[in-house]
Amino acid sequence: MLNYRITYKKLKNAFLIPSVFWIVTFFLIPVFLMLIYAFFERGDYGGVKYNFTLINFTLIFDDLYYKIILKTFVVAILNSLLCLLAGYPIAYFISTQKNQSIKNTLLVLVILPFLTNFLIRTYAWMVLLGNEGLINTILFNLKIIDNPLQLLFTPFAVQLGLFYNYLPFIILPLYSSIEKINKNLYLASNDLGGSNLKTFLNVTLPLSKSGIFTGLFLVFIPTLGEFIIPDILGGSKSVMIGNIVKDQFLTARNWPFGSALVFIIMFALLIVMSAKNIITKYNAK
Amino acid sequence: MNKKLLTTYTIIAFIFLYLPITVLIVFSFNKDKISSSWSGFTLDWYYKLFQNTDLLNSLQTSIFIAIFSSLISVVLGTFTSYALYKFDFKGKVAFQSLLQYPIITPDIVIGIGLLIFFVLINFTLGFFSVLIAHISFTMAYTTLIISTRFNGIDKNIEDAAIDLGATPFKAFRFAVIPSIMPGIIAAFLISFIISWDDFIVSFFTSGVGTTTLPVKVYSMIKMGVNPQINAISTLLLMTSLISTFIVIKFQNNVTG
């Protein structure tokens, strides 16, 4: 027995070293490397010159860029709120189902589109919104319009695409927090004369706070870094941070500036995460 | 509350979630090339797919990358979860939270970080860079899933096996592995789906020669709507859906 324990101790390293190596080398170092690159000068043909500079961060405040950055934040906040408003009733509805198998089926139906390809879910909207797309064809055949409506390649299309893709992200955390609420609290509130609306506002909503925060976080952060949806559904007016980042790395070849832009996304991630942790701790007290 | 209103709303929401995908699938069988009017059933777009060598090459790349990255990340995930379940060590909590970072970090950050890293160490962008990149996030998922399974098993089974005369290797192989097998299979499939669907990380780390299927589809989409994309999308969707159903079915069989 004792001998085996010693063997185990040696084994411990053998079990841990591969994954520690992997995550440090192929995740941690690359992410830090990118953050460091933000403080270097750009090289002549892509890459960097190893001179410390803050020029990439001042470039962010350039007229051309800060507006796009600001707009990206507005779009991301709007998308998080829209998803919350639209997702909450769905999560609430699923949690009130009494039949467990209906509940499970509905949850699977929420998760399914989320497990299909992001690119394809976005492309599907091109098929619907295009000038020869389904919506315009139907409206035309019903003689409601004479000329196709410009739906695709607009800010509206981008906001719709973001909403469509991220809605399932918020339903799951909302569901799990609403589901945990003790159902007797609803009865108690009703017995004490609370109307349904009052019960909702004073019982359901406050008790599902953690789900609301997690859900908003799960929508806000990826929306901030999004570039596929504006790239596919948006026009030149719907550029977001992610699109500039992509251009800096693939066409403009200003890697340090691209890194500085990613810095903003990481910084927002950090702030939102610490805010979430503080709120969670505060609520736990 | 307004039960009817809530039910109606939820039904509309589900239609909204499924309508675009359904339209896409239906139109992959439509004869008409440009417009969205139905002009008859055809399988032409699917035949054309199988004559498109570029597409078939990227399909092959995607399959290989999904399989290899899932296999490697399942092995890494199993080892890590076992170590986390069995041993205490310095920095365990920090390591556990580090393991979750690839899941919450936006894909664009992982993709660009790795692009910079590979270029810096002069690692040729291609099949292996994409494979390595995929493992760095699928590994986080497999560890999470397999760890959950480890938490559910009896801590004594391994000691019991050793008391009955098994070597530690045999105890691991015949007592531990079978009890976490459902977790390993679920982890493999979920890792497969995530790798199969990944676009952003592959896009930045694939270089010129190697294209995964989603990267290929993206370049087709940039050219505009085309029924061939509808057809390939339908096939991609089906692969994800079938894998998902296998996961669900499997989990039900184990728990039920």
Position B256 scores a pLDDT of: 41
Tell which residue, B197, B212, B84, B93, has the closest CA to residue B148: B84
Residue B156 touches chain A, beta carbons under 8 Å: no
The CATH number for A211's domain is 1.10.3720.10
Q: Please tell me the distance in Å from A35's CA to the nearest CA on chain B.
A: 9
Tens-level pLDDT at each residue, chain B (256 residues): 578 899 999 999 999 999 999 998 998 898 887 667 788 888 888 998 888 888 899 999 999 999 999 999 999 999 999 988 888 888 888 898 899 889 888 889 999 999 999 999 999 999 999 999 999 999 999 999 999 888 878 878 888 888 888 887 888 888 888 888 988 998 998 899 889 889 999 999 998 878 999 999 999 998 888 888 889 989 888 887 888 788 777 776 655 4
Question: Does residue A50 belong to any structural domain of this protein?
Answer: no
Contacting residues of A for B37, CB less than 8 Å apart? 137, 141
**Which residue in A has a C-alpha nearest to residue B89's C-alpha?**
A12
Of A19, A232, A246, the CB nearest to B80: A19
Amino acid (1-letter code) at residue A63? D
Contacting residues of A for B214, CB less than 8 Å apart? 117, 119
Tens-level pLDDT at each residue, chain A (285 residues): 455 555 666 777 888 899 999 999 999 999 999 999 999 998 877 678 888 989 889 988 888 899 999 999 999 999 999 999 999 999 999 998 888 889 888 988 888 877 778 889 999 999 899 888 888 888 888 888 888 888 899 999 999 999 999 998 899 899 988 988 877 887 788 788 777 778 888 888 888 888 898 899 889 988 998 989 999 999 878 899 999 999 998 888 899 999 999 988 888 888 988 887 787 777 766
Position B248 scores a pLDDT of: 77
Give the phi and the psi of residue B244 in degrees, each rounded to 5.
-60, -45
Question: Does residue A54 belong to any structural domain of this protein?
Answer: no
| Residue A46 DSSP symbol | B
Instruction: Check CB contact under 8 Å for B106 and A132.
Output: no
Domains defined for chain B, CATH in brackets = 1-42 (no CATH), 45-255 (1.10.3720.10)
Contacting residues of B for A12, CB less than 8 Å apart? 83, 86-87, 89
Domain that holds residue A146: 63-284
Contacting residues of A for B105, CB less than 8 Å apart? 31, 269
What b/e readout covers B86-107, taking b as 16+ CB neighbours within 10 angstroms? Answer: beeeeeeeebeebbeebeebbb
| Residue A41 DSSP symbol | E
Instruction: Check CB contact under 8 Å for B7 and A93.
Output: yes
Position B64 scores a pLDDT of: 96
Residue B245 touches chain A, beta carbons under 8 Å: no
Amino acid (1-letter code) at residue A143? K
* DSSP labels, B190-226: HHHHHHHH--HHHHHHSTTT---HHHHHHHHHTT---
A contact test, residue of B17, B75, B235 with most A CBs within 10 A: B17
Determine the straight-line distance between the first and last CA of chain B, rounded to whole angstroms: 34
Question: Does residue A181 belong to any structural domain of this protein?
Answer: yes
Instruction: Check CB contact under 8 Å for B217 and A120.
Output: yes
Q: Cα–Cα distance between B241 and B94 in angstroms, integer?
A: 35
**Which residue in A has a C-alpha nearest to residue B3's C-alpha?**
A93
| Residue A237 DSSP symbol | G
Q: Cα–Cα distance between B190 and B28 in angstroms, integer?
A: 27
Question: Does residue A105 belong to any structural domain of this protein?
Answer: yes
Tell which residue, A223, A260, A220, has the closest CA to residue A38: A260
Contacts of B62 (CB under 8 A, 6+ apart): B196, B212, B213, B214
Tell which residue, B239, B142, B148, has the closest CA to residue B196: B239
How many contacts does A have with B, using Cβ atoms within 8 A?
A: 218
Position B254 scores a pLDDT of: 59
Question: Does residue A222 belong to any structural domain of this protein?
Answer: yes
**Which residue in B has a C-alpha nearest to residue A226's C-alpha?**
B108
Instruction: Check CB contact under 8 Å for B9 and A224.
Output: no
Contacting residues of A for B225, CB less than 8 Å apart? 126-127, 130, 132-133
Residue B99 touches chain A, beta carbons under 8 Å: yes
Would the CA dihedral through B171, B172, B177, B179 be positive or negative?
Answer: positive
Contacting residues of B for A111, CB less than 8 Å apart? 244
Of B80, B204, B217, the CB nearest to A16: B80
Residues 208-237 of B with CB under 8 A from A: 214, 217-218, 221-222, 225, 229-230, 233, 236-237
Question: Does residue A145 belong to any structural domain of this protein?
Answer: yes
Amino acid (1-letter code) at residue A274? S
Query: What is the predicted ipTM?
Result: 0.87
Instruction: Check CB contact under 8 Å for B233 and A124.
Output: yes
Q: Cα–Cα distance between A271 and B62 in angstroms, integer?
A: 36
Contacting residues of B for A126, CB less than 8 Å apart? 221, 225
Instruction: Check CB contact under 8 Å for B98 and A28.
Output: yes
Instruction: Check CB contact under 8 Å for A34 and B112.
Output: yes
Position A113 scores a pLDDT of: 78
Position A285 scores a pLDDT of: 60
Question: Does residue A112 belong to any structural domain of this protein?
Answer: yes
**Which residue in A has a C-alpha nearest to residue B79's C-alpha?**
A15
Residue B204 touches chain A, beta carbons under 8 Å: yes
Position B159 scores a pLDDT of: 84
- Structural domains of chain A, count: 1
Question: Does residue A272 belong to any structural domain of this protein?
Answer: yes
Which 3 state secondary structure label does DSSP give B30? strand
Q: Give A194-198's long-range contacts (Cβ < 8 A, gap of 24+).
A: A196/B1, A197/B1
